[in-house]
Structure 1
Amino acid sequence: MVRDIILKENNVTLRSIQEYDLPSLYNLIYGDTEPLWKKYDAPFYSLEPHTLESYKSHELARKYRLSEHEVDSRLLIEYEGEIIGTVMYYWEEKSSFWLEVGIGIYNADFWEKGVGSQALQMWIDYLFQAMPLARVGLRTWSKNTRMIHIASKLGMTEEARIRKAHLYQGNYYDSVRLGILREEWYFTKNQEKE
């Protein structure tokens, strides 16, 4: 089984999901029938339905599939001890050390407060330290301007824009892909220190 991770910076903590966290996390994700966060997080894909028990089973299976040598693929985001979201990664092309990251702040009270930027910065930094990654990417859509802003703020470059890729509520939106190379990440970090 994968090793637990705990990362702390200021009031933000990223940590491995424990079984006792699952009811709270489930309520954040599935508590509303039409959650506000889903309107920005790929709403053109339906939210996979789960009961609390099926969600627990799904999450525990994800965690147990990872070996102790792998990095946990999904962590909780806590702000001042309160669970507010998750960060995650998945392999786009493992043979070339390219993965994609994502973030979900499920509680809108924490939007536009810098928490998402800090959590994503901590996550990407950790992933570059823990694995020999060549690049980290991020996928979103043109309506999610907050995500594009955060990624750009962290030094990611818009690498692709697939026009009219998503149809949502009668309107077309672009698919947007952003990314950063290992050397760019460390260059940006060193520039911030100076």
Structure 2
Amino acid sequence: MKEYICGNEEIKIRKLQDTDEELTMLGKWRDDERVSKFYGGRDKDNSLEGLKKKYLPRIHGEENIQCCIIVYEGEDSGYIQFFPLKKEAYKEHKLENYKNAYGIDIFIAGHMGHSKGLGSKALKMLYTYLFEEKNADVVEICPRTVNERAVAAYKKAGFTPHSKLEKGEFFEGEWFEETVMIITK
């Protein structure tokens, strides 16, 4: 049974399920060049077994990352996840003035296109949920600084650049700087 955490008539966010069908769908999205060149990487194992290894501990609560599917007009259309930041990240991300910080990651499925505002709408919906239901006082998203399209999209969703992480993400064998972008309650 699909468990929705928030939504409206147009967009809903639901928990990723522990089914081969769900994980296979996620793997196809992650294999799509329009997604993999920005999220996950083209060098990742998106086989069903590889996805089970990565996502089942999250689905079953063994890792503190909530994996979700974005549903747009009734169709599974993207992936979004959220997690409370670990205490050591507060200093590194320059968030020492906050008490309950959450991080978000997102991608829109390649076949959905990227000009409908779906990502911005889903981000707004999720950070509102985190502020209201999880009592977050700040929410961050950390795109690679070179991904100017993502930085612009996150600004559109209300996030502002806050700090930089010189070695923020190890992606396809190389370290990339990330821009820590935040929105506060």
What is the TM-score of this pair, normalised by structure 2?
A: 0.74
1:28-54 CA-partner distances (Å, limit 9, x unpaired): 223x5xx221222365x943x142134
> What secondary structure does 2:127 align onto?
helix
Separation in 2 of the partners of 1:60 and 1:173?
A: 27
Aligned to 1:64: 60
Runs of 5+ unmatched residues, structure 2? 91-98
Match of 2:3 in 1: 4
Question: Percent identity among equivalent residues?
Answer: 23
Shift of 1:87: 0.8
Which residue in the other structure is 1:40 paired with? 38
Structure 1 residues 121, 25: closer, same or farther in 2, change over 3 A? same
Code of the residue aligned with 2:11 in structure 1: it is V
CA spacing shift, 1:168–1:77, aligned 2, 3 Å:
closer
Structure 1 stretches of 5 or more lacking a match? Answer: 183-194
- 1:123: Cα distance to partner? 0.8
Residue aligning to 1:135: 138
1:86: how far off?
Answer: 0.8
Does 18-27 or 126-135 show the bigger shift?
18-27
Which residue does the alignment assign to 1:149? 152
Q: d(CA) in 1 for partners of 2:154 and 2:8?
A: 19
User: TM-score scaled by structure 1?
Assistant: 0.71
2:54 is aligned with 1:55: no
Report how many residues are paired: 171
For residues 35-79 of structure 1, the C-alpha deviation after alignment (integer angstroms, 9 at most, x for no partner) is 221222365x943x1421342354232121269xx8x71110122
Query: Residue in 1 aligned with 2:18?
Result: 19
Amino acid corresponding to residue 122 of structure 2 in structure 1: A
Cα distance between partner residues in 2 of 1:65 and 1:167: 25
Asked if 1:89 corresponds to 2:82, the answer is yes
Deviations 1:152-194 (A, max 9, x none): 123222111356977989x996421111121xxxxxxxxxxxx
Shift of the 166–6 alpha-carbon distance from structure 1 to 2, 3 Å rule, reads: closer
Label 1:78 to 1:181 Cα distance change in 2 as closer, same or farther (>3 A): same
* SS of corresponding position for 1:19: coil
Contact 1:42 1:140 in 2 (8 A): no
User: Runs (4+) of structure 1 moved beyond 3 Å?
Assistant: 161-169, 171-174
- The aligned counterpart of 1:186 is none
Q: 1:166 to 1:52 in 2, by over 3 A?
A: closer
AA in 1 matched with 2:24: P
Contact residue 77 and residue 119 of structure 1 kept, 8 A = yes
Residue 29 in structure 1 maps to residue 30 in structure 2: yes
Q: 1:53 to 1:130 in 2, by over 3 A?
A: same
**Greater per-residue helix proportion:** 1
Supply the AA of the counterpart residue of 1:85: G
